[in-house]
Amino acid sequence: MSSYARYGKRIVDVIIASVALVVLSPLWMLIMLAYTVSFSFPVFYRQERIGRGKELFSLWKFRTLLNKPGTLQQRRFMLGDLMRFTSLDELPQLVNVLNGNMSCVGPRPLPKEYLHLFSPEQQRRHLVRPGITGWAQVNGRNSISWQDKLAHDVYYVNHVSFGLDLFILFKTIVILFSFKKDVSLQEEKFTGTN
């Protein structure tokens, strides 16, 4: 791996996450107030995900589904839909970045139950810290197959660079402001490489 991947990437992550947390702190407070006045508790959602080196960590998000039994569609609520549509539910992951569990850019961290389903080539996605956004997210996200997503993840691992990270961050911002329809609840679970 390049010196950027080994050392520089972490420095860039800490700088971006620190600045973003300060700049976005008023928005963070506004979101928490919205959850409070709408009695949408708990505010945060935590799930074990696969990190670098296949180590598990707790990923944090603003909760976007009701905390009750039922299908994903039955558990939807208006504030949660808005959070998913704007991707603001991902904001707490900036704390994951500061803690060293995640990077600003990298393969999205997947649930621990997927760990045994990856092929040896796909396991390469765990050579780097998972990211808030990544190469797969700016190349189709939920509209592409799992095979394509994982191929994009491996491509990223093989080509990590400062320039690629900047491009992904820029393209992520463009996508966010395009306000595309959220289809994340329609994503099928990964069942293996077939």
pLDDT in tens, 52-91: 999 999 999 999 999 888 888 899 999 999 999 999 999 9
Write out pLDDT tens, residues 123-144.
Answer: 999 999 999 999 999 998 878 9
Enter the pTM of the model: 0.92
Closest to 101 (Cα-Cα) out of 120, 124, 84, 126: 126
Structure tokens at 48: 């074990």
Closest to 12 (Cα-Cα) out of 92, 93, 95, 103: 103
Give residue 192's pLDDT.
Answer: 85
Q: Which residues contact 59 (CB under 8 A, 6 or more apart)?
A: 46, 47, 48, 49, 93, 96, 101, 102, 109
Indicate the SS3 state at residue 5: helix
Q: Which residues contact 124 (CB under 8 A, 6 or more apart)?
A: 153, 154, 157, 158
Give residue 193's pLDDT.
Answer: 64
Q: Which residue has the tokens 């992550």?
A: 13
